[in-house]
């Protein structure tokens, strides 16, 4: 495929490396230095776009790709409040978009088992549950999109938790969740690629379910595989649709 990279930070550079390793060509790189001058004509020769930009830029990039009839994979998070309108526009215009909070194979297995664990724990009311996420200090959004996906998987399978609330360590704002609220605690520590933990605590014990990323490479490779999966398809997809854990 001929790929356009939207965003060229650490993730964009890793995606370029894995795309080339897998036989693809990066034909255009778009970042803050040239974004204002890019038009749909610049994307005419491309087959696919991959967006790892910023929450503010992602919506503009999605619109540009729709105008250009260019399929795109969106790994940027922090824009999901606009998800339904983007989905409607995508389907109405017969475009192609795949989005996800995390493209790592391991994390998507984690998402699946997290739902199974939440369902198994649901009858045992002596356990309270919370989610903890740790990322590098450069991450712009909190909680992470991955943590939100984990929280949503718990909420889908819990009779007691109805919504999630976020506490950011060091923000100076104390967040005390209500009984029906799921706490997501966010920590920002130097260059941590991403650690997510689900904790079920009772008076007598604690269960921890944890995923630790050792580098960003799993995310980057997964994004390229997602682009390969999306190629030739029309529609609006989540990254979880790439995986079938029910076989």
**Residues taking part in catalysis:** 135, 139
Please give the Cα distance from 23 to 227 (Å, whole number): 13
Please give the Cα distance from 149 to 9 (Å, whole number): 24
Cα 224 to chain centroid, rounded: 14
Look at residue 96 and give its three-state secondary structure. Answer: strand
The alpha carbon dihedral of 78, 59, 38, 220 has a sign of positive
Please give the Cα distance from 227 to 58 (Å, whole number): 17
Please give the Cα distance from 53 to 135 (Å, whole number): 17
Cα 27 to chain centroid, rounded: 24
Please give the Cα distance from 125 to 140 (Å, whole number): 35
């Amino acid at each position: 495929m001929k790929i356009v990279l939207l965003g060229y930070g650490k993730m964009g550079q890793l995606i370029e490396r894995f795309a080339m390793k897998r036989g693809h060509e990066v034909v255009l790189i778009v970042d803050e230095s040239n974004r204002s001058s890019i038009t749909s004509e610049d994307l005419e020769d491309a087959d696919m776009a991959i967006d790892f930009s910023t929450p503010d830029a992602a919506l503009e990039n999605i619109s540009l790709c729709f105008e250009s009839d260019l399929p795109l994979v969106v790994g940027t998070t922090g824009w999901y409040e606009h998800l339904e309108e983007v989905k409607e526009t995508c389907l109405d215009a017969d475009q192609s978009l795949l989005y996800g909070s995390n493209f790592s194979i391991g994390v998507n297995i984690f998402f699946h088992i997290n739902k199974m664990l939440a369902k198994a724990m649901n009858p045992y009311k002596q356990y309270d549950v919370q989610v903890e996420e740790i990322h590098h200090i450069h991450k712009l959004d909190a909680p992470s999109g991955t943590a939100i996906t984990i929280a949503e998987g718990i909420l889908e399978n819990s009779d007691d938790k109805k919504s999630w609330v976020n506490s950011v360590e060091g923000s100076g704002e104390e967040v005390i969740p209500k009984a029906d609220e799921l706490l997501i605690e966010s920590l920002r520590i130097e260059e941590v690629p991403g650690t997510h933990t689900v904790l079920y605590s009772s008076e007598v014990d604690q269960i921890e379910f944890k995923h630790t990323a050792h580098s960003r490479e799993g995310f980057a490779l997964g994004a390229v595989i997602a682009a390969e999966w999306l190629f030739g398809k029309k529609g609006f997809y989540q990254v979880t649709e790439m995986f079938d854990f029910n076989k």
